[in-house]
Amino acid sequence: MTTKIIEKLLNDYIELLNDEEDFNIIINVGKIPAVKTFKTHSVILRNRSLYFRNELANINKDENNIKTINLNHVPIQQFDIIIKYIYGGVILLDNLDVSFIFELMLIACEFLLDELAKYIEAHLIETKAHWLRLHFAHVYQESFESNILQELQK
């Protein structure tokens, strides 16, 4: 019973991303012409990500009390998974390409989502070690860009 209640709660939080009325943060992701707008909520972003807490502290509101963040360097597909994780605390890595998962981990590091980055790191080490060895130079270089990925650094 408790599991179903928590599942419903998480789904309700994820559904907030479709709320067209009560959002106060707009996040534009991707590069023109393929830009996707995510209408989000500062209270969730601030509490779930130190990156967004810091970003939001430095952005002024517009005349409608909305703050806008532009993340042109972040791929839409990865951000869609990241924002759903921020809202619902759930991520499914099954059936995703390994390079996609690796980039997802790097984005999690950028957004200071340590728990998610470490989870993906462990997943890659445990289930995708062959890919990591094949792409050693890239993995090595990227893992040292963040203090979070200490297991990959080893």
Domain boundaries, the chain: 1-75, 91-154
Instruction: Summarize pLDDT for 57-77 with one digit per residue, the tens.
Output: 999 999 999 999 999 999 999
Rounded Cα distance, 103 and 137, in Å: 15
pTM of the model: 0.88
89-109 mean pLDDT: 94
Contacts of 67 (CB under 8 A, 6+ apart): 24, 25, 26, 42, 56, 59, 60, 61
Whether 93 has a pLDDT exceeding 80, the answer reads yes
Considering the chain, what percentage of its residues have pLDDT values greater than 90? 70
Helix (H, G, I), strand (E, B) or coil at 39: strand
- Reported as a single tens digit per residue, the pLDDT across 12-56 is 888 888 888 889 999 999 988 889 999 999 999 999 999 999 999
Q: Cα–Cα distance between 119 and 146 in angstroms, integer?
A: 15
Sheet holding 25-29: strands in order across?
Answer: 36-40, 25-29, 67-71
Q: What is the distance of C-alpha 90 from the center of its chain?
A: 11
Cβ-proximal residues to 153 (8 Å cutoff; 6+ apart), any chain: 143, 144
Q: Which residue has the tokens 């094949």?
A: 134
Chain-centre distance of CA 116, in angstroms?
8
Report the pLDDT value the prediction gives residue 88, as an integer from 0 to 100.
92
Q: Other C-beta atoms within 10 Å of 25: how many?
A: 22
- As a whole number, the mean pLDDT across the chain is 92
* Coil vs helix vs strand at 70: strand
Would you mind telling me the total number of residues written for the chain in this entry? 154
